[in-house]
Chain A
Amino acid sequence: MADPRLSSSNHAPGFPPAIRLEPGQLIPFDQPQQHMNHPPPPGMNPMMQMQQGPPPIPQLPPQMFTTAAQLLDLTDKKLMVVLRDGRKLIGVLRSWDQFGNLVMQDTVERLFVPKEFLYADIERGLFLVRGENVSLLGEIDLDKDDYIPPPYQLAPVDKVFALKKAEDVENKKSEKLKQKRLAKEGFEGEHAGEAIL
Chain B
Amino acid sequence: MLFFSFFKTLVNHEVTVELKNDISIRGTLKSVDQYLNIKLDDISVVEEMKYPHLSSVKNVFIRGSVVRYVHLPAAAVDTPLLEDATRREASQAVAKAKQG
Contact = CB atoms under 8 A, between A and B. Distances in A.
A70 interface: yes
A120 interface: no
A152 interface: yes
Nearest to B81: A50
A148 B56 contact: yes
A190 B1 contact: no
**Interface range for B:** 35 or more
A138 B4 contact: no
Interface in B1-60: 1-2, 4-6, 8-9, 11, 19-21, 31-35, 37, 39, 43, 48-50, 52-60
Contacts of B2: 28-29
Nearest to A25: B92
A112 B5 contact: no
B71 to A, nearest CB: 17
A190 B22 CA distance: 11
B5 A30 contact: yes
Contact of A29 (B35, B62, B85): B85
A131 B61 CA distance: 13
Interface majority SS (helix, strand, loop, mixed), chain B: mixed
B11 A60 contact: yes
Interface string B59-81: 11111011010000000001011
A149 B66 CA distance: 25
B34 A140 contact: no
Q: Which 9 A-B pairs have the closest CB atoms?
A: A138-B57, A141-B58, A137-B61, A135-B66, A144-B56, A29-B5, A29-B85, A147-B56, A138-B60
Interface of A: 15, 18-19, 26, 28-32, 46-47, 50-51, 57, 59-60, 64-67, 69-71, 74, 80, 82, 84, 86, 88, 100, 110, 112, 114, 119, 131-132, 134-141, 144-149, 152, 190-191
Given A144-B58, A148-B52, 20 more contacts: A26-B88, A28-B2, A29-B5, A30-B9, A32-B5, A60-B8, A66-B33, A66-B34, A67-B37, A70-B37, A80-B57, A84-B66, A88-B53, A100-B63, A135-B63, A138-B61, A144-B55, A144-B56, A147-B55, A149-B49
Interface of B: 1-2, 4-6, 8-9, 11, 19-21, 31-35, 37, 39, 43, 48-50, 52-63, 65-66, 68, 78, 80-81, 84-85, 88-89, 92
